[in-house]
Amino acid sequence: MSDRKHNFNAGPAALPLEVLLQAQEQFVNYGGAGMSIMEMSHRSGVYEQLNEETQSLLRELLNIPDNYHVLFLQGGASTQFAMVPLNLLTGGKVAAYVETGSWASKALKEAKLIGETAVVATSKPDEYRRMPNLTNLVLPENAAYVHVTSNETIQGTQFKSFPDTGSVPLVADMSSDIMSRPIDVSKFGLIYAGAQKNLGPSGVTVVIIRDDLAGGAPEHVPTMLRYETHVKDKSLYNTPPTFSVYMVNLVLKWIKEKGGLAAIEKANAEKAAVIYEEIDKSGGFYRGFAHPDSRSPMNITFRIASEELEPLFVKESEKEGFVGLKGHRSVGGLRASAYNAVPLESCRALAQFMAEFRRRHG
């Protein structure tokens, strides 16, 4: 497969080649059904089984306790920015937000449309270069929940641990690092993630919600935007994104085959280290954007000290078969997204390209 690129796209992002080949094999005739999975009723036994198995795989790999539901919804993580406050910000309470970068800010913006909010920690004064320390978090007395973004995809920062918020539910947007490391789900009231970074293609959003939080939506909240609707019908209230769920199923099996989340975490750490090492030994030619204590293994953000070289870096990298290295338009610079499916060889190849580029232009 030498015509495959070194894919460092931020999302939609690389999928495991094994998964793509398996999907290709099953594309026209899924499991001997004489049709593709896309052509089948979501009420069929075949699809129901796939839906259930995909839930079970998530439960198994993330070690999700029995009092949580796993949902497959649509509308992306961006719809969850609204759905979380619509369902949980009730009864005159205050939603507490941890403001860590572009995505946390967008989540906060939506909550403001729905109710009262408070920013309980922010790294804005640090230009979002590091995650704030949440050990002594002070919450409003009537906090509905605390919202965190586990990994800021655009700034390239990641929380290494999560606060104990006591009886106040902790809600996390894990879109860009779900399934990249083991997490203690019991610390959270609700976790959500768009699939297109670490889980599969776009089109499906995974929500993991604790039982006691699934039923309290105010009456005016539309049926499709109520968690209880999807809990009750096991994510089959309306037509689900069947092909996306199928792809998530294959990706989860791939993760399981790789040894589960502990093994994936180790592999991700090794991959990211190869690139961060090149940044750190470049004598200031490359500059990491994130503070070392908050560096994300998923999104490696950096600049070239001579910023005018950045477009050339992107152009030359594309010629060498690298894709997706231009930083997000809102912050500029360069970014390598090394999600689960990006192989170590691609990271090694990138580090080597970076070293050669430095030699030529340093």
- Interface residues toward ligand PLP, by CB under 6 A: 11, 76-78, 103, 149, 153, 173, 175-176, 194, 197
Q: Which is nearer to ligand PLP, 245 or 351 (CB)?
A: 245
Comparing C-alpha atoms, which of 216, 289, 204 is closest to residue 247?
204
Q: Coil, strand or helix: which one is 72?
A: strand
User: The dihedral of CA 220, 226, 231, 232: what is its sign?
Assistant: positive
Q: Quick count: other Cβ atoms within 10 Å of Cβ 38?
A: 11
Q: Which is nearer to ligand PLP, 131 or 351 (CB)?
A: 131
Backbone angles phi, psi at 245, to 5 degrees: -65, -40
The nearest distance, CB 107 to ligand PLP, in angstroms, is 7
Q: Which is nearer to ligand PLP, 148 or 231 (CB)?
A: 148
Q: Which of 173, 253, 254, 271 is catalytic?
A: 173
User: The dihedral of CA 243, 13, 267, 61: what is its sign?
Assistant: negative
CA quadruple 274, 278, 281, 285: dihedral, nearest 10: -160
The answer to whether the beta carbons of residues 149 and 173 sit under 8 Å apart is yes
Comparing C-alpha atoms, which of 96, 119, 262, 66 is closest to residue 172?
96
Q: Does 254 qualify as catalytic in the annotation? A: no
The nearest distance, CB 202 to ligand PLP, in angstroms, is 7
The nearest distance, CB 77 to ligand PLP, in angstroms, is 4
Q: Which of 103, 177, 271, 326 is catalytic?
A: 103
Residue nearest to ligand PLP (CB): 76
Q: Does 109 qualify as catalytic in the annotation? A: no
Q: Which of 3, 93, 112, 197 is catalytic?
A: 197
The nearest distance, CB 298 to ligand PLP, in angstroms, is 9
Q: Which is nearer to ligand PLP, 103 or 302 (CB)?
A: 103
Active site members? 103, 173, 197
